[in-house]
């Protein structure tokens, strides 16, 4: 139906040999979808491709970032792009569940606190949030729940993230706790759920692309903030300008972008991507490929211990026999207690220097000088252990239907000449 | 599809048609401008034909669904039976990249289609569903990865100490 409708209209355009491909593509899609969905498209979204924009320019990303998906935009870093202690915007992964908001005005932006368990529903302007509550700055690790999905077998559907859907930027804002206390929480409060300005892919205004949240104890932590700055500047549009909920150490989907409402719920929040199998793993371990009923899937909370070698880039050929390696390690709600590397596929492990985190939930930096015994092909594997004594596995961990929580050891290839 | 069209929708459609008419006239004018420029360019220099040809190639009729080295250029999908059915039904709401990244069995593709219909506004595919799923399974088969794959596509470079 789509192609049938689009073609007769597209043809005269093409004969003019005029309209650029991108514009025509969006136009055809626009038109075709309009017929199918009735009112939804033409009233709403202007496909971003009509702007003829390049995602790297549009979002100011490093050209070596990998675009996994362009509708919606999903872009990941490569390990070596995450070298900095505090991740700059240029290397931060982009994960979107829906279409970007069309207009974002900090001057008129408001945040409403509502829900069954709010004492007084309140709405704050951005200026009020900034002036009324104390401001805090934290470095917070945000990792996509599906980072590493690419390695699961049988494959899990969704964006096939490799290793680069993680970052640790510096976020400035006010504590969610302070704002929730100002509105008041009833004793029935169990969960918060965010609502935001992005749009569902179908453009149906009644649907939210994502509306997740966290239990009250996480919502009330010092480091759970409503941020209006990232790395000392206004948050970039793609990362949630002008207001983002930031909850480090948990799947980054809890850290809602473009947040305009937070509901204090008297039950586990049931917004989009909270229910079914989204951001959930089997409550009990399952065999690879096994079917799991929705009611046997449990919500992911803290992310597991993990690390990345960010220097050197994989593929280094050396003339000498020593190599300095550097990287970051993080452990969800916990701290990284130990960091090791192996050049013999795990037969022996050597400790790395690992720094304390800048603050709770910030990633930690490690380094080591690796000595190679002789010329040849090596892989340097890195393994972090958290404060609970849990280490990263060398193999891909427990299979789960949606491909979350792959924290297998990262490795780089090295040749000694 | 045969339901009565509500008046609000009718207004939207009329508005949409008006927009479309506006857009078409814009395109027509722009086309004329292009034609004039094009004619001038042709008069001016024949040496530039290579470049001009390339430019025209890039935006010409065939180009819209151009296949090069077995790949449908606009979407990056493999040219095979069912290609255009996949292009028409699967790339208007999301990118073809979401398809090419994923490797699933027929059963799981069918489940995914059902999920898109239930939650994402995908329309009924009818007989096209089988064409689409067959295309996907044949052209994007699952790869056995085991418990850990070896490192692949390593880009070797000299590292100076």
- Residue A222, by phi and psi: left (phi above 0), alpha (psi -120 to 50) or beta? alpha
Helix (H) or strand (E) holding A59: none
Nearest to B89 by CA among A5, A321, A208, A333: A5
- Phi and psi angles of residue B15, each rounded to the nearest 5 degrees, phi first: -60, -40
C-alpha span between A189 and A217 (Å, rounded) = 10
Q: Which member of A34, A315, A320 has the closest CB to residue B157?
A: A315
Give the CA count within 13 Å in the CB-facing half-sphere of B148: 14
Using the Cβ of B98 and the Cβ atoms of chain A, whether some distance falls under 8 Å is answered with yes
Query: CATH 2.60.40.650 occupies which residues in chain A?
Result: 306-416
Query: CATH 3.90.420.10 occupies which residues in chain A?
Result: 94-299
- Residue A164, by phi and psi: left (phi above 0), alpha (psi -120 to 50) or beta? alpha
How does pLDDT run across B7-33, given as a tens digit for each residue? 555 555 556 555 655 555 555 555 554
A254-to-A165, A221, A274 alpha-carbon distances in Å:
14, 14, 10
ipTM, two decimals: 0.83
Quick one: pLDDT at residue A157? 84
Residue B35 has pLDDT above 60, yes or no: no
Task: Identify the architecture of domain B66-142 in CATH.
Answer: Orthogonal Bundle (1.10)
How does pLDDT run across B47-103, given as a tens digit for each residue? 333 333 344 444 455 578 889 999 999 899 999 999 999 999 998 888 888 888 888
How does pLDDT run across A257-280, given as a tens digit for each residue? 999 999 999 999 999 999 999 999
Classify the C-alpha dihedral A280-A282-A288-A293 as positive or negative. Answer: negative
Using the Cβ of B101 and the Cβ atoms of chain A, whether some distance falls under 8 Å is answered with yes
Domain boundary assignment for chain B: 1-60, 66-142
Nearest to A141 by CA among A300, A247, A289, A10: A247
Quick one: pLDDT at residue B17? 57
Q: Check A413 against B151: CB less than 8 A apart.
A: yes
Give the CA count within 13 Å in the CB-facing half-sphere of B58: 10
C-alpha span between A253 and A405 (Å, rounded) = 13
C-alpha span between A167 and A306 (Å, rounded) = 12
Pairing mode, strands A94-95 and A73-76 = antiparallel
Quick one: pLDDT at residue B95? 84
Helices B128-139 and B83-90, axial angle in degrees (round to 10) = 110
How does pLDDT run across A83-122, given as a tens digit for each residue? 999 999 999 999 999 889 988 999 999 999 999 999 999 9
At B34, the pLDDT band (50, 70, 90 cuts) reads: low
Bond prior to A242 in cis (omega within 30° of 0)? yes
Contact between A77 and A90 (Cβ < 8 Å): no
Nearest to A413 by CA among B160, B161, B149, B155: B155
Quick one: pLDDT at residue B157? 98
Pairing mode, strands A306-311 and A233-234 = unpaired
Contact between B59 and A19 (Cβ < 8 Å): yes
State the fold for domain A306-416: Immunoglobulin-like (2.60.40)
**E strands of A42-165, at which residues?**
66-70, 73-76, 94-95, 110-114, 122-125, 135-143
- Phi and psi angles of residue A30, each rounded to the nearest 5 degrees, phi first: -60, -50
Residue B36 has pLDDT above 70, yes or no: no
Quick one: pLDDT at residue A139? 98
Using the Cβ of B64 and the Cβ atoms of chain A, whether some distance falls under 8 Å is answered with yes
Q: Check B97 against A68: CB less than 8 A apart.
A: yes
C-alpha span between A305 and A393 (Å, rounded) = 10
Helix, strand, coil shares of chain A, percent, nearest 5, are 20, 30, 50
State the fold for domain A94-299: Sulfite Oxidase; Chain A, domain 2 (3.90.420)
Q: Which member of B61, B147, B159 has the closest CB to residue A317?
A: B159
C-alpha span between A214 and A249 (Å, rounded) = 12
Q: Check B123 against A36: CB less than 8 A apart.
A: yes
Q: From first to last of its 417 residues, what are the pLDDT tens digits of chain A? A: 222 222 222 233 332 232 333 333 333 333 333 323 323 333 333 444 433 468 898 899 999 999 998 878 899 999 999 999 999 999 999 999 988 998 899 999 999 999 999 999 999 999 999 999 999 999 999 999 999 999 999 998 889 999 999 999 999 999 999 999 999 999 999 999 999 999 988 788 899 999 999 999 999 999 999 999 999 999 999 999 999 999 999 999 999 999 999 999 999 999 999 999 999 999 999 999 999 999 999 999 999 999 999 999 999 999 999 999 999 999 999 999 999 999 999 999 999 999 999 999 999 999 999 999 999 999 999 999 999 999 999 999 999 999 999 999 999 999 999
Quick one: pLDDT at residue A349? 98
Quick one: pLDDT at residue A9? 29
Quick one: pLDDT at residue B131? 96
Residues of B with Cβ-Cβ distance to A408 under 8 angstroms: 148
Quick one: pLDDT at residue A53? 63
Q: Which residues contact A39 (CB under 8 A, 6 or more apart)?
A: B8, B9, B12, B13
- Phi and psi angles of residue A31, each rounded to the nearest 5 degrees, phi first: -65, -50
Residues of B with Cβ-Cβ distance to A25 under 8 angstroms: 74
Q: Which residue of A has its CA nearest to B109?
A: A157
Using the Cβ of B148 and the Cβ atoms of chain A, whether some distance falls under 8 Å is answered with yes
């Amino acid at each position: 139906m789509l192609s049938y409708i689009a073609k007769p209209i597209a043809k005269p355009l093409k004969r003019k040999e005029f309209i650029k491909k991108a514009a025509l593509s969006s136009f055809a899609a626009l038109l075709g979808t309009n017929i199918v969905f009735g009112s939804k498209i033409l009233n709403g979204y202007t496909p971003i491709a009509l702007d003829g924009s390049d995602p790297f320019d549009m979002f100011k990303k490093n050209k070596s970032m990998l675009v996994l998906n362009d509708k919606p935009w999903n872009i990941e870093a490569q390990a070596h792009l995450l070298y900095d202690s505090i991740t700059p915007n240029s290397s931060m992964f982009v994960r979107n569940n829906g279409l970007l908001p069309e207009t974002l005005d900090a001057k008129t932006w408001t945040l409403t606190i509502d829900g069954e368990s709010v004492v007084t529903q309140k709405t704050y302007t951005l200026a009020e949030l900034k002036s009324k509550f104390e401001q805090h700055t934290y470095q917070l690790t945000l990792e996509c729940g599906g980072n590493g999905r690419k390695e699961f077998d049988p494959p899990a559907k969704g964006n096939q993230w490799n290793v680069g859907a993680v970052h640790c930027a510096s976020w400035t804002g006010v504590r969610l706790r302070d704002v929730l206390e100002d509105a008041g929480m009833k004793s029935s409060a169990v969960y918060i759920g965010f609502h935001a300005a992005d749009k569902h892919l179908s453009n149906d205004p009644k649907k939210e692309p994502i509306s997740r949240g966290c239990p009250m104890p996480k919502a009330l932590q010092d480091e759970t903030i409503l941020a209006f700055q990232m790395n000392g500047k206004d948050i970039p549009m793609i990362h949630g300008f002008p207001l983002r909920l930031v909850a480090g150490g948990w799947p980054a989907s809890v850290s809602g972008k473009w947040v305009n409402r937070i509901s204090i719920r008297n039950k586990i929040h049931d917004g989009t991507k909270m229910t079914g199998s989204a951001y959930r793993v089997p409550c009990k371990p399952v065999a690879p490929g096994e079917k799991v009923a929705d009611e046997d899937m449990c919500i992911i909370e803290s992310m597991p211990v993990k690390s990345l070698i960010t220097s050197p880039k994989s593929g280094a050929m050396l003339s000498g026999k020593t190599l300095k390696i550097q990287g970051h390690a993080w452990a969800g709600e916990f701290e990284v207690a130990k960091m090791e590397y192996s050049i013999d596929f795990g037969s022996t492990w050597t400790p790395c220097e690992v720094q304390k985190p800048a603050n709770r939930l910030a990633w930690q930096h490690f380094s080591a000088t690796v000595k190679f015994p002789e010329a040849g092909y090596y892989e340097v594997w890195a393994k972090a252990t958290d404060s609970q004594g849990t280490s990263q596995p060398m193999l891909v961990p427990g299979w789960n239907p949606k491909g979350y929580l792959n924290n297998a050891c990262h490795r780089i290839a090295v040749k000694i000449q | 599809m045969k339901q009565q069209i509500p008046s609000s929708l009718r207004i939207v459609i009329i508005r949409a048609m008006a927009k479309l008419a506006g857009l078409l006239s814009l395109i027509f004018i722009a086309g004329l401008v292009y034609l004039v420029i094009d004619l001038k360019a042709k008069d001016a220099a024949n040496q530039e034909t290579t470049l001009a040809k390339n430019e025209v190639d890039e935006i010409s009729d065939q180009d819209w669904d151009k296949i090069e080295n077995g790949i449908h250029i606009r979407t990056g999908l493999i040219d095979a039976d069912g290609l255009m059915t996949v292009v028409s039904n699967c790339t208007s709401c999301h990118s073809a990249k979401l398809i090419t990244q994923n490797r699933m069995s027929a059963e799981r593709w069918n489940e995914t289609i059902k999920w898109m219909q239930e939650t994402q506004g995908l329309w009924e595919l009818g007989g096209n569903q089988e064409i689409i799923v067959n295309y996907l399974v044949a052209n994007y088969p699952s790869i056995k990865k085991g418990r850990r794959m070896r490192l692949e596509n390593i880009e070797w470079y000299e590292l100076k100490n």
